[in-house]
Amino acid sequence: MPKWKWPVVGVLVALVTLAYPLIVYLSLGRLEPRWLALLLLGLALMRLVVSRMAVTWGFAAGALLLAVFSWAGNAWMPLKLYPVVVNAVLLSLFAASLAYPPSAIERFARLREPELPPEAVAYTRRVTQVWCLFFIFNGAVALVTALWASDAVWTLYNGLVSYCLIGTLMALEWLVRRRVRARIALANTANTANAAQG
C-alpha cells in the first residue's frame, strides 16, 4: 500500500472503532452476528496495516479471537465484549510500563520534551497509575453492560459515556499538568537564583 494511504486507513480505523458500538446496535435484528464478525476481523487487519506496535497486536489478537467465537457460534456476545478487550489491552500496556519503566505517559511526554526533570517523571508515573485505574473501571462497566444490561444501555455507555469520561479525564489531567509544570518552573527558577547568590 502506498505510504500516502496509511493516514487515510488510520483515520478510517479510528472512525470505525469509535462508531463500533453504534454499528453493532444498528445491526441487531438486521444482520447475523457472523457477518459483523467480519467487520471486527477487518478492523483488526486494518490496525496491523497502520501500525505494528505491541498494543496494535494486542487489539488485533483480541478482535480476532472475538470474531472467531462470534462467527462459530453466530453470537452477539463476543462482539459486545470488544470494548472490554480494548480496556484490558490498554491496562496491560500501561501496567507493564509501570513494572518496566519508563511509564507509558512518560514515553508520550518525552516525544515532546526529551529532557524531563525528575519531578515530571514522577508525575507521569502517577498519571499512568490513574489511567490504569480508569481502564479497570471502564473495562468493568463495559463487561457489566455486555453481560447484564440492555443493548441500548450497552451502546449508550460504550459508544458515548465512556468517550465522555475519557475526554473529562484528559481535560482534568491537562489542567493538573499545567499547575505541575508551573510549580516545577518556579522551583527551577528559585534554585537558579539561589545558586547565583551562592
Residue 45 has what pLDDT?
A: 84
The cell numbers describing 53, all together, are 506496535
Position 176 in a domain: yes
Q: Write the secondary structure of 22-74 as one string of H (helix), E (strand) and C (coil).
A: HHHHHHCCCCCHHHHHHHHHHHHHHHHHHCCCHHHHHHHHHHHHHHHHHHHHC
Between CA 45 and CA 9 the distance in angstroms is 11
Position 198 in a domain: no
Structural domain that includes position 24: 1-80
Domain co-membership, 55 together with 126: no
* Residue where one domain finishes, among candidates 55, 80, 105: 80
Position 64 in a domain: yes
Q: Is the pLDDT of residue 18 over 80?
A: yes
Between CA 17 and CA 20 the distance in angstroms is 5
Share of the chain above pLDDT 70, in %: 91
Give residues with Cβ within 8 angstroms of 167, minimum separation 6: none
Residue 4 has what pLDDT?
A: 44
Single pTM value for the model = 0.90
Domain co-membership, 89 together with 175: yes
CA nearest neighbour of 118 among 106, 104, 108: 106
Position 196 in a domain: no
Position 69 in a domain: yes
Q: Tens digit of pLDDT for each residue in 57-103?
A: 888 899 999 999 999 999 999 999 999 999 999 999 999 999 999 99
* Burial of residue 112 (number of CB atoms within 10 Å: 0-12, 13-18, 19+): exposed
Domain co-membership, 63 together with 6: yes
Per DSSP, 5 falls in state: G
Give residues with Cβ within 8 angstroms of 152, minimum separation 6: 25
Domain count, the chain: 2
* Residue where one domain finishes, among candidates 80, 106, 126: 80
Domain co-membership, 164 together with 91: yes
CB 109 within 8 A of CB 120: yes
Q: How far, CA to CA in Å, does 180 sit from each of 114, 115, 174, 183, 185?
A: 17, 16, 10, 5, 9
Position 197 in a domain: no
Domain co-membership, 107 together with 170: yes
- Of 46-50, 79-83, 86-90, 174-178, the one with minimum mean pLDDT is 46-50
Residue 95 has what pLDDT?
A: 97
* Residue where one domain finishes, among candidates 13, 48, 80: 80
Share of the chain above pLDDT 90, in %: 63
Domain co-membership, 13 together with 29: yes
